[in-house]
Structure 1
């Protein structure tokens, strides 16, 4: 295979975003799904207009109405009533449907490059292929006798921010790993996943000590892992090979392979240990480094990386080391991670609200029922709870150690004076 292989330089990676100037060729003898009227009639996908969703509609229920003639006879002029429905309800319905299942995400390559958002999807496809080319993921090859190539598939996803707005269009080329054979294409597949208790602990530590909590994202993380088994895959849609080559040999792991996550974790773990980090005995996804009394903590969840520590300089140095080895996007202060939005709030405000309102939820289950007695006292007017800022909290002198100036300030505010000796 090595004698017949060559670098994959024939990718069509024109940077022009225009739908006409860019040509995506379908590989070899692969046949795409039929497009046009037949495909449209078969799928019956709702049309989503980009300008405000004014004409976006809910799922088509016409077939269900035809299947129930009695219901339609009773409804009478039901279609006419639907036409009189205020547009605001249609927009709300469209937003609800989109939130449940984003109708603008194509399911096939042909839908992506020929659909209404083809400019964005073509750009995302070019970015994915370019990243694979720069990483040296593939080598064009001839399939040896007795070997078989696993299939590939394009997966399209719209990544959204915490408020639901579009962050970016993402195209991912994945392998059909379910066709791999154990012992031939792979052996071990296990890779550690961060515990949620560890994630909460890191966030709590950063909040308690006032440390910065920054977030980084590894671009195409799995493409950094070097394959230990020889695996061939079919030529994906959007790529065409010359020179008699009929398949691709995977040099690096891609998404979808059974061992891809393990190979990436081994690569990241090896690098972190090489720059002085130690793996936590509590969680293998937590890395700790102590330098001159300062510590930095790095938490990794697949390709999402959180960094916090007591030294800004040490955090910056760690970021530089990571960016030197991996292509990463630095999001700065962490505001949204693993589907969790991080919002800073005043200390104690949630407790005060719970005493004034009969709120019951999962986060308060650990509080013993007897402690909810404070609600009765607040209701009777015996106790009044108000939020007090740290700068005017006189009780701090009795509950914690304070610096000299702060101690003097609070003693004076309480009317406490030192005695002369």
Structure 2
């Protein structure tokens, strides 16, 4: 791992035995630099898009100490991080001749790289006439300790091992230096690395020893060096050293989330007088405000991202990134105060009965911000519960994003699910929750999920646990089952240590629609089966230890010791673990393939089998199995699955992936009316006036086009306008059962990074159209043409601003 300072070109190189230590090593270097150079703060860190660096904990830490994290957009385009890539190339160019000059094998490349890094720090660059080391330390570097890499060095023998008539020094191989007074050397016979004082050593730069002794033909067993990288277990992010450092910034992150509008790059933030359901409460500013009050508030808000009236217990130093203004500078003029205006929003008001609800009004508040080139944030629709903010410049509005938004909307109910067992006890439906808890405990015992209670191995941090409570609903949004899950807190697992692969294929909406159409055209049957506690059937591929849940009795031999010293070793995959989904899929696929079912290579979640009496197709969505085929084969498949797994037969498929499926006499009708109603209520558009089309007529004149890009004099929407959430929710609906307004959604999605009031009006136009067409969907009719038809339209005028063809 390489670090390089863009100002001085000072660099640091670390040799890591595994990628898992990259995050901990980088965090340790940041802490070391901040302690060594307290007067020079780190402004920005530019990283490649490797998975070991995309850690939420690292982002939280950098945000708390005022460091901007810039992640390379495309991991395959190395020029985006050219400074670091250039350093890596220089290291290779210097290390290669070092190894060629010496008689060391190529496996000693690590020592050559470290020596090359030391040499680079001593050499001037084209950017500065001074060396990076001199720019950092302020002193001219000393070159007297430099010796040729791989040359002979005679190291003194320790006094206890000397003899009066024996040698006083031993021949070793010099492989660089640790500091000007300490050298690194290898023992020729074993290849082990040691250090010695420079002044005590004697060098011969004309002789280059080889491993295994000074022989012409090297023993094949000694051609490769077996050397141990520096033990970084104490820097592992799971240990207390880094865990404590990360925990220090958690409360700062929560504080920063309290004022999401403090991060917007807009000079004006649209702000509601009515507390939003998806935003924290705010202090409203009266329309007429005195200069004294405004000056006092501006003094409080010098540090942005902190609750009003709070103080920083540990103030930080910022250089050039934050400009602290005087209160007099941020006072608006009388003209600006008079510029505040109220704009009525009619979307959620029933015009026939305006006496029941007061109109919702918006106020535009000028925020002094001369720098507009900052992150463009938007709070999520569930900001109160999860505290998530999105950067509109970084979010990729795709199917994954839209599905996540749809799941949040579908799981929202007027009566929220309980968060703990204590909350369940306080509810009227506690007997049903208690029954669900007992069923879960019996399932865990039946599947032998938990092993014995043991001493937690040294260096292992057990994963936590929590109870999750869910009420299962049918296609009519009616509760039909209470479920309780004891889940592991897999967010503490380390990739490469606690798990390797997590991918578990599941059926998507496109595949499901194709299978539905196939069942109609071929006159097949559809049947839905649910695997009870499916994840508990999977076997773990690594040793996982979990904290002991409440109610578990510790053996008498351990009763005198602290409960925190012990943990439970998991024998089966548990809900919440990173690899549980994959372990269940592997278990199911092995069982089906053993019986002769064939796995589709394009869609691995689909299994099929053909026999003389017919065929059956199994579409897997986690623990829900959709079986499509002839009646006899469906029955045989169901019996075969029940031999191995405990299953519930739910009959005809009526609800899957948020799609409602109605089996009619002449075909199948799929729709998402329940989701559409929740969508409209979530965005407060359920009482808006319906419209007949999903989009207004566009103009070929680019200046009159309502969907033109954001202009220079236009303001970007404030963070409390859920533009990204609306686009994601509509995209999920359009891609599943409402393709007729997919173009409108995709057009508005182009402006997700800089939406304006015009684009938000376009989103509300689609909402009004949905309010009048809630029950629309797709109908698969018997006897229709079963041929697949592809359609593509080159929209030459869909982008009149840039004249790009959109296909």
TM-score class, shorter-chain normalisation, is 0.5 to 0.7
2:527 maps to 214
Secondary structure of the residue aligned to 1:281 is coil
Q: SS in structure 2 opposite 1:332?
A: coil
Q: Secondary structure at the match of 2:521?
A: helix
CA shift for structure 1 position 124: 0.8
Cα distance between partner residues in 2 of 1:344 and 1:99? 25
Match of 1:204 among 508, 514, 517: 517
Following superposition of structure 1 onto structure 2, how do residues 324-335 of structure 1 map, counting pairs within 5 Å? 324-335=643-654
Counterpart-to-counterpart distance in 2, 1:358 and 1:345? 27
Q: How many angstroms does 1:101 deviate by? A: 4.0
Deviation at 1:324, TM superposition (A): 0.9
**More off after superposition, 162-171 vs 322-331:** 162-171
Alpha-carbon distance in structure 1 between the residues aligned to 2:614 and 2:652: 20
Query: Contact 1:141/1:249 (CA < 8 Å) preserved in 2?
Result: yes
The whole-number CA distance in structure 2 between the counterparts of 1:118 and 1:69 is 44
| Separation in 2, partners of 1:268, 1:174 | 21
TM-fit CA distance, 1:202: 0.9
| SS of residue in 2 equivalent to 1:333 | coil
The answer to whether the 8 Å contact 1:186/1:258 transfers is yes
Cα 1:244–1:253 change in 2 (3 A) is farther
Q: 1:307 maps to which residue?
A: 627
Residue 271 in structure 1 maps to residue 591 in structure 2: yes
Is 1:118 the equivalent of 2:494?
no
Shift of residue 115, structure 1, vs aligned partner: 3.4
Gaps of 5+ in 1: 1-58, 72-83, 87-96, 351-356, 368-388, 401-421
TM-score (norm 2): 0.32
Structure 1 CA distance for aligned equivalents of residues 468 and 550 of structure 2: 12
Note closer, same or farther for the CA distance 1:293–1:172 as it changes in structure 2 (3 Å cut).
same
C-alpha distance in structure 1 between counterparts of 2:462 and 2:572, whole Å:
15
Residues in 2 aligned to 1:189 and 1:348: alpha-carbon distance in whole angstroms: 38
Greater relative CO, 1 or 2 (CA 8 Å, sep 6+): 1
Task: Tell me the equivalent position of 1:320.
Answer: 639
In structure 2, the CA distance between the partners of 1:104 and 1:241, relative to structure 1 (3 Å rule), is: farther
Scaled by the length of structure 1, the TM-score of the pair is: 0.60
- Alpha carbons of structure 1 residues 349 and 247: separation in structure 2 relative to 1, 3 Å: closer
Q: CA offsets, 1:4-61, max 9 Å, x none?
A: xxxxxxxxxxxxxxxxxxxxxxxxxxxxxxxxxxxxxxxxxxxxxxxxxxxxxxx999
Task: Give the 3-state SS of the residue equivalent to 1:276 in structure 2.
Answer: coil
Q: Decide whether the 8 Å contact of 2:452 with 2:569 is kept in 1.
A: yes
Structure 1 residue 288 and structure 2 residue 615: aligned?
Answer: no
Contact 1:109/1:237 (8 A) holds in 2:
no
Give the equivalent residue in structure 2 for 1:138: 450
**Shift in CA distance, 349/132, structure 1 to aligned 2, threshold 3 Å:** closer
Match of 1:258 among 567, 578, 581: 578
Residue 127 of structure 1 is matched in structure 2 by 439
Question: Which residue pairs with 1:13 in the alignment?
Answer: none
Paired with 2:281 and 2:508, the residues of 1 have a C-alpha distance of 48
Distance 1:314 1:101 in 2: 39
Q: Is the 8 A contact 1:151 1:233 kept in 2?
A: yes
| Cα deviation code 1:154-210 (max 9, x no counterpart) | 111111122222111111111111111223221222222223221111111112222
**Closer/same/farther in 2, CA of residues 99 and 324 from structure 1, 3 Å limit:** closer
Q: Determine whether 1:227 maps to 2:540.
A: yes
Question: C-alpha distance in 1, partners of 2:668/2:524?
Answer: 21
Deviation (angstroms), 1:338: 1.7
Distance 1:339 1:65 in 2: 32
What is the SS of the residue equivalent to 2:663?
coil
Q: How many residues align?
A: 284
Q: CA distance change for structure 1 residues 230 and 347 in 2, over 3 Å: closer, same or farther? A: same
SS of 1:156's equivalent in the other structure is strand
Root-mean-square deviation (CA), in Å? Answer: 3.7
Partners of 2:667 and 2:446 in 1: CA distance: 51
The corresponding residue for 1:380 is none
Check 1:145–1:290 CA distance in 2 against 1; reply closer, same or farther (3 A cut): closer
Note the C-alpha offset of 1:242.
3.6
Larger Rg: 2
CA distance 1:204–1:111, shift in 2 (3 Å): same
Instruction: Give the C-alpha shift of residue 222 in structure 1.
Output: 0.4
Match of residue 8 from structure 1: none
CA contact under 8 A between 1:189 and 1:259: conserved in structure 2? Answer: yes
Q: Secondary structure of the equivalent of 1:343?
A: strand
Q: How does 1:36-185 map to 2 (within 5 A)?
A: 100-146=412-458, 147-185=460-498
Deviation at 1:295, TM superposition (A): 1.3
Say which SS state the counterpart of residue 556 (structure 2) adopts: coil
In the TM superposition, 1:318-357 aligns within 5 A as 318-345=637-664
Check whether the contact 1:308–1:315 (CA below 8 A) recurs between aligned residues: yes
Contact 1:217 1:303 in 2 (8 A): yes
Alignment correspondent of 1:4: none
**Equivalent in the alignment of 1:16:** none
Q: Is the 8 A contact 2:456 2:567 kept in 1?
A: no
Q: Tell me the distance in 2 between the aligned counterparts of 1:349 and 1:316.
A: 21
